[in-house]
Amino acid sequence: MEQTSENPPSAGVTAPIDSEKASNDQQSPKNVGQKRKWDDRRAGRGRGKSLQHGSRGPNKRKNMGRNEHFREQSDRRGRNEREKLKREQQANGDGNADSTLPSAFPKDEVDAEERRPKRKVAVMIGYSGTGYKGMQIDPKQKTIEGDLFTAFVAAGAISKANADDPKKSSLVRCARTDKGVHAAGNVISLKLIIEEEDIVEKINSHLSQQIRVWGIQRTTGSFSCYQACDSRWYEYLIPTHSFLPPHPSSFMGKKLEELAEKAGDLDEYHKRQEEVANFWPEVEEKQIKPILDSLDDSIRPLVEKALYTIDSTSSGFGADPLVEAVADLPKAPAQGTKEEKPDSKGSVKAGETVEKDIEMTNADGMATTNAENEVEATIDAIQEDNKSLAMDDMTDGSVPLSESTIQKPALEAAIKALKAAYMDAKKAYRISETRKNRVQEALNLYLGTKNYHNYTVQKKFKDPSAKRHIRSFKVAEKPVIINDTEWLSLKVHGQSFMMHQIRKMVGMAALAVRCGTDLKRIEESFGDVIVRIPKAPGLGLLLERPVFDSYNEKQAQAAGREKIDFGRYEKEIQEFKQREIYERIFREEAEGNQFNTFFTHLDNYKDPTFLYLTSGGIAATKSQDKKTAGGKWEESESENEEGEG
């Protein structure tokens, strides 16, 4: 995840209140007079000032309502019980039995440890997010902070007394990256024991090669890397074939032409796609037709249908979990259960999920099925579409087969060859200067302060926190070619980013360019409308560095502290970025074709959700009923009112 505000602390456990007893107490004669006094005071009558319920004035307890006072006492008792239980677990040495964090040390070891001074520091780090559930510490998940904290303890930078709880060290992160997202430079601030000169080397010795500590810098005592950060730089790497138009036979390819003609926009649409207009006709003629011509007449029609129609996904909840996940579409709750949602700040509470876990996916929720799995899925779809068709596993072809029986190995070989031909054609694509300039035009529309309620999760249009400021968003001058695939680097500089914001910004820009969309659609997405924007694969996203200019020029200088500067570690960072981030991104894409899977699924999603990309505009997304197993899928009142993304 890109950054978002920190999750609010969980509320304490509240003991149940006997409502019947409370009601009887209030109605008893001896309490009637007291109740009237409370009512008068709240209404501003008689003595005392008018107070709002729950006021936090100088005399808090006197300002409380009756039930609120009882609740606070219950909360306090609950906290005390939990602290008592925690101390007992620590004494027994089993406080973190199921946690990824270090276990609490026995009391005798804690008492015997030499007390050493802790210093407030900024720890400059880099990491590859592959295989991690994000940056933020989670005792039940493998996270970057979790591995860092464990390394701090192992290296002696955190005392045994504080080893069981990161809060004791005042740990704060500058940028809370999402699962699978990388960082060449990030910062955490906390209190560490840094007396030893080789403390950085000791910490790194307890970390995998995917995580590096660049340096540890003393700061002012009040320093918080989250609050002190002025802005952040991110980079997004994307294959240039992501900007190719949808195949003309796909659902989206057909709708783009159909709705452009209906809207009288066909000529303008063709102008927006002029530089790629010949791509698919040439691929079909030069690379696909020879393969189809070589196939047996009994197989050819099935293969053509498999390539051009079966990939299309029907409408309705659960039709394509991958698309529903990347676009944060509302999901139908299981029967008899209540649908879980993120809170109003876009944060996910404990026990809740935003993205549905999809079978055979990587940590980012994108499909990583290999060629064999894709071919098998296509054959299953063929059989589902032709229920009378039988598959024979014989390989030599010496025995004649009936008309209703197909030689499965031959069908598998044909589908595999055609899918590979399409993928090879996409990888061979090289973006033109005209197309690259159009990408830059799309990114320019994000500059300045905009309302990004459609670019995150569960944000209202009227929520002030949905407004974010983008300072620059630039396409690299020259693409690079890695593993026969051309890549573009997109770099964005902004003050702060919400959950999934950058991935949705890239997703919207890429979809608008590849679909020949009028770019004013991006501007419309900042308005009081609902636009379901898919988030591009997290694989391509990395945090370049946070910026601390204000702190460096004011607080650090006044306190005699050195600046927080990644420049002094530039050589090590570049080597790490190339080895652990860039090469990993290129390798994973070569193995899994995540970007191709992402856009292919969207192109073939037979639902009006993404038809705002056509000449029909946002109105086209509401032109058809959205079906679920239980009937129509209508946008709820809360969605219309709140503009949930």
**How do residues 351-368 score in pLDDT, each as one tens digit?**
333 333 322 334 344 444
b/e for 448-486, b at 16 or more Cβ within 10 A? eebbbbbbbbbbbbebebbebebeebebeeebeebeebb
Query: Which neighbouring-strand residues pair with 543?
Result: 183, 234
For residue 175, is it within any domain?
yes
Residue range 388-413: mean pLDDT, rounded: 68
CB 373 within 8 A of CB 591: no
Residue 193 above 60 pLDDT? yes
Residue 251 above 80 pLDDT? yes
Residue 498 above 70 pLDDT? yes
> What pLDDT shows up at residue 260?
97
User: In degrees rounded to 5, what are phi and psi of residue 10?
Assistant: -65, 145
For residue 297, name the pLDDT band (cuts at 50, 70, 90). confident
For residue 438, name the pLDDT band (cuts at 50, 70, 90). very high
Q: Which carries the bigger pLDDT value, residue 351 or residue 244?
A: 244
> What pLDDT shows up at residue 401?
60
Residues 6+ apart with CB under 8 A from 64: 54, 72
For residue 219, is it within any domain?
yes
For residue 223, name the pLDDT band (cuts at 50, 70, 90). very high
Residues 6+ apart with CB under 8 A from 360: 367, 368, 369, 373
For residue 623, name the pLDDT band (cuts at 50, 70, 90). low
Question: Looking at residue 189, which CATH number applies to its domain?
Answer: 3.30.70.580
> What pLDDT shows up at residue 266?
97
DSSP reduced 3-state for 237: strand
Claim to verify: residue 83 and residue 184 sit in the same structural domain: no
Residue at which a domain ends, from 228, 262, 289: 228
Identity of the residue numbered 351: G
> What pLDDT shows up at residue 41?
52
Q: Report the Cα–Cα distance between both ends of the chain, in Å, rounded.
A: 15
Residue 99 above 80 pLDDT? no
For 469, the token pair is 């400021």
DSSP 8-state symbol, 605: B
State yes or no: 234 annotated in a binding site: yes
Claim to verify: residue 69 and residue 171 sit in the same structural domain: no
Among 386-390, 484-488, 605-609, the minimum mean pLDDT is found in 386-390
Residue 631 above 60 pLDDT? no
CB 68 within 8 A of CB 54: yes
Residue range 464-471: mean pLDDT, rounded: 96
For 240, the token pair is 């240039």
Q: Which carries the bigger pLDDT value, residue 97 or residue 15?
A: 97
> What pLDDT shows up at residue 569?
96
For residue 145, is it within any domain?
yes
The percent of residues above 70 in pLDDT, for the chain, comes to 68
| Domains contained in the chain, number | 2
Claim to verify: residue 70 and residue 117 sit in the same structural domain: no
The percent of residues above 90 in pLDDT, for the chain, comes to 52
Residue range 21-45: mean pLDDT, rounded: 50
CB 161 within 8 A of CB 90: no
Mean pLDDT of the residues in the chain: 78
If you write DSSP's letter for every residue of 79-144 in order, what string do you get? HHHHHHHHHHHHHHT-TTTT-SSPPPPPHHHHHHSPP---EEEEEEEEE--TTSS-SS--TTS--H
Residue at which a domain ends, from 33, 61, 92: 92
Q: CA 507, CA 585: separation in Å to the nearest integer? A: 17
DSSP 8-state symbol, 221: T
Q: CA 567, CA 547: separation in Å to the nearest integer? A: 11
Burial of residue 99 (CB within 10 Å: 0-12, 13-18, 19+) is middle
For residue 108, name the pLDDT band (cuts at 50, 70, 90). confident
Q: Which carries the bigger pLDDT value, residue 587 or residue 33?
A: 587
Give the closest residue to 353 by CA, choosing from 373, 339, 368, 370.
339
For residue 496, is it within any domain?
no
> What pLDDT shows up at residue 361?
38
Claim to verify: residue 192 and residue 220 sit in the same structural domain: yes
Which of the given ranges, 42-51, 231-240, 584-593, has the highest pLDDT on average?
231-240
For 532, the token pair is 């379901």
Claim to verify: residue 56 and residue 136 sit in the same structural domain: no
For residue 589, is it within any domain?
no
For residue 149, is it within any domain?
yes
Claim to verify: residue 134 and residue 157 sit in the same structural domain: yes
Active site residues: 178
For residue 66, name the pLDDT band (cuts at 50, 70, 90). very low
Q: What is the value of pTM for the model shown?
A: 0.75
Q: What is the largest CA-CA distance in the chain?
A: 103
Claim to verify: residue 118 and residue 75 sit in the same structural domain: no
Alpha carbons within 13 A on the beta-carbon side of 644: 17
Between strands 485-494 and 231-239, the pairing is antiparallel
* Residue 51: other Cβ atoms inside 10 A: 15
Residue at which a domain ends, from 228, 253, 286: 228
Tell me which residue has tokens 């698919």. 280
> What pLDDT shows up at residue 255?
96
**Three-state SS across 4-70?**
CCCCCCCCCCCCCCCHHHHHHHHHCHHHHHHHHHHHHHHHCCCCCCCCCCCCCCCCHHHHCCHHHHH
Helical H runs in 93-132? Answer: 107-112
For 575, the token pair is 């080597």
The size of the chain, in residues, is 645
> What pLDDT shows up at residue 352?
32
For residue 335, name the pLDDT band (cuts at 50, 70, 90). very low
pLDDT in tens, 517-534: 999 999 999 999 999 999
Residue range 189-217: mean pLDDT, rounded: 96
> What pLDDT shows up at residue 95?
47
Residue range 24-31: mean pLDDT, rounded: 47
For residue 430, name the pLDDT band (cuts at 50, 70, 90). very high
Residue 301 above 70 pLDDT? yes
Residue 408 above 50 pLDDT? yes
Mark residue 188 as left, alpha or beta (left: phi above 0; alpha: psi -120 to 50; beta: remaining): beta
> What pLDDT shows up at residue 395?
54
Per DSSP, which regions of 521-613 are E strands? 541-547
Give the closest residue to 346 by CA, choosing from 203, 246, 460, 187.
460
CB 174 within 8 A of CB 226: yes
For residue 91, name the pLDDT band (cuts at 50, 70, 90). low
Claim to verify: residue 85 and residue 172 sit in the same structural domain: no
Helical H runs in 408-460? Answer: 408-427, 433-444
> What pLDDT shows up at residue 106?
86
Claim to verify: residue 35 and residue 81 sit in the same structural domain: yes
> What pLDDT shows up at residue 520?
97
Residue 480 above 70 pLDDT? yes
Between strands 231-239 and 390-392, the pairing is unpaired
CB 185 within 8 A of CB 87: no
Residue 219 above 50 pLDDT? yes
- Domain ranges, residue 153: 107-228
For residue 181, is it within any domain?
yes
CB 189 within 8 A of CB 224: yes
> What pLDDT shows up at residue 191?
96
Rg (CA), the chain: 29
Residue 624 above 70 pLDDT? no
Give the closest residue to 221 by CA, choosing from 568, 565, 569, 560.
560
CB 251 within 8 A of CB 605: yes
Residue 403 above 70 pLDDT? no
Residue 178 above 90 pLDDT? no
Among 220-229, 324-333, 396-405, 503-512, the minimum mean pLDDT is found in 396-405
Claim to verify: residue 29 and residue 115 sit in the same structural domain: no
Alpha carbons within 13 A on the beta-carbon side of 24: 5
Tell me which residue has tokens 């498999």. 306
Burial of residue 301 (CB within 10 Å: 0-12, 13-18, 19+) is exposed
For residue 597, is it within any domain?
no
For 32, the token pair is 């009637």
CB 232 within 8 A of CB 567: no
| Dihedral over Cα of 492, 498, 500, 501: its sign | negative
- At residue 195's C-alpha, the angle toward residues 193 and 196, to 5°, is 110
> What pLDDT shows up at residue 123?
97
Residue 26 above 50 pLDDT? no
Q: Which carries the bigger pLDDT value, residue 563 or residue 58?
A: 563
